[in-house]
Amino acid sequence: MKHETLSARPADTPHESAQRHVTGTADYTDDLALPQGALHAYLGLSSVAHGRILSMELSAVRAAPGVIDVLTAEDIPGRNDVSPIGAGDDPILARGEVHFHGQPVFAVIAETRDQARRAAVLARIEYEALPHALDPLAALESGGDLVVPGMTLRRGDAAAGLGAAPRRLDGRFTIGGQDHFYLEGQIALAIPNEEEMAVFTSTQHPTEVQHMVAHALDVPANAVVVNVRRMGGGFGGKETQMNLFCCVAAIAARKWNRAVKLRPDRDDDMIATGKRHDFVVDYSVGFDDSGRILAVTGDWYARCGFSADLSMAVTDRALFHADNAYFYPDVELRSYPLRTNTVSNTAFRGFGGPQGVIVAERIIEEIAYATGQDTLTVRRANLYQNGQPTPYHQPVEDMILPRIFDELESSCDYAARQQAVLDFNARMDGAGSPIRRGIAMTPVKFGISFTATHFNQAGALVHIYTDGSIQLNHGGCEMGQGLHTKIAQVVAEAFQVGLERIRVTKTTTEKVPNTSATAASSGTDLNGMAALDAANQIKARLVDFLCKAKDATPEEIRFIPDHIVVRDETIPFSQAVQMAYMARVQLSAAGFYATPKIHWNRAQGSGRPFYYFAYGAACAEVSVDTLTGEYVIERADVLHDVGRSLNPAIDIGQIEGGFVQGAGWLTSEELWWDDAGRLRTHAPSTYKIPLASDRPKVFNVALADWSVNREPTIRRSKAVGEPPFMLGISVFEAIGHAVASLADYRECPRLDAPATPERVLMAAERLRGGALGLRDR
């Protein structure tokens, strides 16, 4: 059996819903037609950061127009917990105590959403205030309670290495969090029938929602069906956060035997759902006069919020990426997942990785300024060489960053532009202008696989109908990243048929069970292989049947575009399918895949957590007004490794989006809680994501088209969803470079993240020696 590659270039394949997205005909959960008698739920949120509930006066809520019911923790038939790790610390509705400002305490059920929303604010809840710790440092001071045990990664003797190093630097780095700001917010629609609860929602993890709803209703998992056609963006914010909304809708739906929809408004969504973890990191680095790193120690203090959620895996991944692309000969890294009286932080693109990578880049910058070298020289000098071990004892074997650096340096004309930046700054200095430029090139090396090994599995279900049309289902969810398009391409190529023959249906727990979250960038790697497995099973049956029917050998059968060739006879694909059906051949198959080779022992801090690494580099140039702190990204050049691309157009879109989202995290996106624990940045008026006009003025994105995954992944491609996020760090370092010019590049500006205009201004002021008389808040 042979097959020839389909002639259509994958780049010609647009996103499966591209037209529907832009014409407004793509159905999101909120667009689904509601069954007759559908009700609407709205959540009532706590108004203190930590307190004991003394009394709940809900009669005004109950009496409000249109209100059918008010649910509290007492109304939950089963388990009142949505902890994804079974920690039991994540109540659906708070009972007895609240642990953060904005925690759901009750749910109003009404005839309309507007009525439910207006009624929710009529509650009078009395609390006995309890002490609260809001940020990592406050949490440390008040005893350092951890939501899950921290991790240590250790290789060699870091203390001895630091002691013996000719030079040493110590620093503290504060790294901000980030709101997901998905376009479509959290949403759940529960539709009950006599024996089942159907949930339509926008989760990245239908299987987890299925289990959470089953536990809350006290029914087995087989009585709950969870369906996801698409999300309007997830970015990790819908890996676990949808559980609570789905449970509330399902509990109300079961109680009233009517469909119930729950959709918080944007402010409540931002207040009541978890975000990227912010960290305070204390680091020490020992190095030699040439700038080579000899030893690193670091303590990562994370604001986890009030419960565990995914904080163990997130803080672990921060440590896994604390080396970024650099070899640390002696190293000891520790994480402290601290409990705070804030919303429970969760997955966000990169999943803690970015908060590790940026510390490695800070260390590089410190060394470059201390030794008076160009930052790129120091970066290059410290890159892993193949065979060198990571702090978790997995050796790096596929290092391609030297080539990526070489090609990007020449394509973006780094050397000449760097000189031009230095010249520009000298001229501006002479002319008394506050404008400065900065340029930086930073790499990323990102580990691909869920670090919890058992999540690295997937299933798929492929049906061929007798008209030759194909229905494809797999365990992954579409959130805009193009997953369904890529998996359809895989199956189309396997059968050598056009994409128009293939329909990828909504993700549903009815078709593929026991799925993992669509997360860790592994959606295509896992589900693509499962879908290929299913397609190959059906192909093998078709070949077997045709061998018998035509007295041929498997070698004499070829799949060519839209046909199957048996010796010198060319049979249209649909006709071959019809013949197979008549001969009673099964035309449906369930496929499965489990990533090979990976294993991880957390207690020992050792193993092979990642199947492979994805690489990339970006060069950003910025201009900064050092009198206002404002900046513009003048130009960004990216060269990124996606192995052999399944779909260059989609991959480039992921890289552009990741870069801009990463730059937003480190520039304008600032989360700010007041002393009472109230999130004061809970709407676009106060929380600034990048605008279209904030993107780099010149933006060149290219794929390292020579790269091939050395592991046999789906078509030798590499995961692309998260790694490019960390390329946004180049913008942060370029801003630092511009600011450093104020003190003739003698001092590392030690900017904290996000580098808001306010922070940039204060960093500039420090380097100018307080010339403007400004004081930090």
**Footprint on this chain of ligand HPA (rule: CB under 6 A):** 239, 310, 313, 317, 347, 351, 450-452, 455, 517, 519-520
Q: By CB under 6 A, which span of 111-119, 299-307, 342-350, 767-775 interacts with ligand MOS?
A: 342-350
Beta strands in 455-542 (DSSP E): 457-464, 470-474, 502-504, 507-508
When asked if residue 524 is in the footprint of ligand MTE (CB under 6 A), the reply is yes
Q: In terms of DSSP bridges, do strands 470-474 and 502-504 run parallel, antiparallel, or are they unpaired?
A: parallel
**From the list ligand HPA, ligand MOS, ligand MTE, none, partner contacted by residue 451 (C-beta under 5 to 8 A by kind):** ligand HPA
When asked if residue 314 is in the footprint of ligand MTE (CB under 6 A), the reply is no
Which residue in 91, 136, 185, 233 binds ligand MTE (CB under 6 A)?
A: 233
Nearest to ligand MOS of 206, 236 (CB atom) = 236
Q: In terms of DSSP bridges, do strands 563-566 and 557-560 run parallel, antiparallel, or are they unpaired?
A: antiparallel
CA distance 590 to 448: 25
3-state secondary structure of 106: strand
Q: How far is the CB of 349 from ligand HPA (least distance, A)?
A: 9
Q: What angle do CA 561, 565, 566 make, to 5 degrees?
A: 165
Q: How far is the CB of 513 from ligand HPA (least distance, A)?
A: 18
CA distance 130 to 602: 35
Nearest to ligand MTE of 292, 716 (CB atom) = 716
Q: How far is the CB of 276 from ligand MOS (least distance, A)?
A: 9
At residue 696, φ and ψ (nearest 5 deg) are -55, 140
3-state secondary structure of 271: helix
- Residue in the shown chain whose Cβ atom is closest to ligand MTE: 523
Q: How far is the CB of 517 from ligand MOS (least distance, A)?
A: 7
SS (H, E, C) 315-381: HHHHHHCCCCCECCCEEEEEEEEEECCCCCCCCCCCCCHHHHHHHHHHHHHHHHHHHCCCHHHHHHH
Task: Please list every residue from 710 through 739 that binds ligand MTE, using CB under 6 A.
Answer: 719, 721-722
Nearest to ligand MOS of 44, 356 (CB atom) = 356
CA distance 537 to 92: 43
Q: By CB under 6 A, which span of 210-218, 357-365, 472-480, 629-637 interacts with ligand MTE?
A: 472-480
Q: Which amino acid is at 316?
A: D
When asked if residue 447 is in the footprint of ligand MTE (CB under 6 A), the reply is no
Q: How many CB atoms lie within 10 A of CB 185?
A: 23
**Chain-centre distance for alpha carbon 453:** 18
Task: Please list every residue from 206 through 265 that binds ligand MOS, using CB under 6 A.
Answer: 236, 239
3-state secondary structure of 277: coil
CA distance 242 to 233: 13
**From the list ligand MTE, ligand MOS, ligand HPA, none, partner contacted by residue 524 (C-beta under 5 to 8 A by kind):** ligand MTE
CA distance 237 to 547: 50
When asked if residue 190 is in the footprint of ligand MTE (CB under 6 A), the reply is no
Nearest to ligand HPA of 10, 523 (CB atom) = 523
Nearest to ligand MOS of 446, 559 (CB atom) = 446
CA distance 461 to 509: 12
When asked if residue 349 is in the footprint of ligand MOS (CB under 6 A), the reply is yes
Q: Is 722 a catalytic residue?
A: yes
Q: By CB under 6 A, which span of 16-24, 232-240, 557-565, 684-692 interacts with ligand MTE?
A: 232-240
When asked if residue 519 is in the footprint of ligand MTE (CB under 6 A), the reply is yes
Which residue in 523, 591, 609, 677 binds ligand MTE (CB under 6 A)?
A: 523
**524, 717 contact by CB (below 8 A):** yes
Name the active-site residue from 722, 733, 747, 765: 722
DSSP 61: H
Instruction: Give residues in contact with ligand MOS (CB under 6 A).
Output: 204, 236, 239, 347-349, 351, 519-520, 722
Which residues have a catalytic role annotated? 722
